Structure 1
């Protein structure tokens, strides 16, 4: 529950393995490895996810546009904020539901909703909907698969596969960004002796906020 809360509402939680954790929890409960009642775990996970997004929203409203001017650090990358902002602009309120299933983006989307001062009632509705679909859905999926004898007899292999799948989107995004950087390098290079043209001054879309 603490990990789900941190991944949903704290900037430092974007690297945490939420999907893998929920799936594994359901699987281990059904296989008998964990003794906690499934309904209680699902209830706690959903509550942590909803409260986490609530904290993220309030943080975004308080911090506001200053978030876009925050310098990069080991745990904070401006690129992640930009991706979440584009995701929010593209899908609107329903991004709060869709982002739950996208690593990294789900951490920053509620914060961007707060920065954009999204109507609180709409935020609350989509926050609850997303928390239930993601928190309960992924956990129950793991529980359902845990009933299979094949899964129960190969739990270790299943856990490795789950972790690999949860990391895969991050790896793909890293390789994509690296490929873009390589392509932009030759295109943006300036021949020897040439003077690089000066880019026009632009206030940027975030400066208007």
Structure 2
């Protein structure tokens, strides 16, 4: 990945196409980081302002199309076939699909809005499980478009204006968000388990 990033930075004219292509592949759960692509595109744009719109369009469309591929092709179209692969079986077990669906049903678009800002593979796991759980396609597309717009605009602007100086703050923020989300999930399912026990005791 480091060599690819160096190549992108050395070839500014084709950088938008490379960034879009890499994010497109990320939709198939290849290890391409959307966060890194956002940082690289914004950093290149800050040094080459004439490419700002092309770079933003590439990273935004790449991220959004990647989400749709993960949801639509990997989740809805391939469906349970992906469980034959150990990697997918570990990140999208039937139990996890049910849990994510519970979140979608209870919190709706907020699941995608919050989930999009959580690192460590949470995004793709959300999109994949949304597809596997047959979440309404239009609902997903519109919700994710809003979430993707907020995320891409926020981070692109942040990296464009402040560059590497904010990286450590973003990393710390990601860890805090991940921790909060993890605690929230634990509390949610402890409460659900207690409610289920209460119903069973009636």
Task: Indicate the residue corresponding to 1:116 in structure 2.
Answer: 133
Mapped pair 1:11 → 2:29: yes
Q: Which has the larger radius of gyration?
A: 1
Q: Which has the higher helix share?
A: 2
**1:81 corresponding residue in structure 2:** 92
SS in 2 for 1:101: coil
Rounded to whole Å, the distance in 1 between the matches of 2:166 and 2:41 is 10
* Alignment of 1:61 onto 2:76: yes
Does the CA contact (< 8 Å) of 1:11 and 1:108 recur in 2?
no
Q: What is the alpha-carbon distance in structure 2 between the residues aligned to residue 48 and residue 105 of structure 1?
A: 18
Equivalent pairs, count: 151
**Counterpart in the other structure of 2:39:** 23
CA shift, 1:18, in A, is 1.9
Structure 2 unaligned residues grouped into runs of 5+: 1-19, 183-202
Normalised by the size of structure 1, how large is the TM-score? 0.58
> For residues 122 and 56 of structure 1, what CA distance do their matches in structure 2 show?
15
**Residues 84 and 134 (structure 1), Cα distance of their counterparts in 2 relative to 1, 3 Å cut:** farther
Following superposition, the deviation at residue 46 of structure 1 comes to 1.3
TM-score by length of 2: 0.60
Alpha-carbon contact 2:60-2:148 (below 8 Å) kept: yes
Deviations 1:17-42 (A, max 9, x none): 32133134323422x2x455222211
Question: In the alignment, is residue 45 of structure 1 matched against residue 59 of structure 2?
Answer: yes
Structure 1 residues without counterparts, runs of 5 or longer: 147-154, 177-209
Q: Which one is further off, 119-128 or 20-29?
A: 20-29
Structure number with higher relative contact order (C-alpha < 8 Å, ≥ 6 residues apart): 1
Equivalent residue, structure 2, for 1:105: 122
RMSD: 3.2
How far apart are residue 142 of structure 1 and its match?
Answer: 0.6
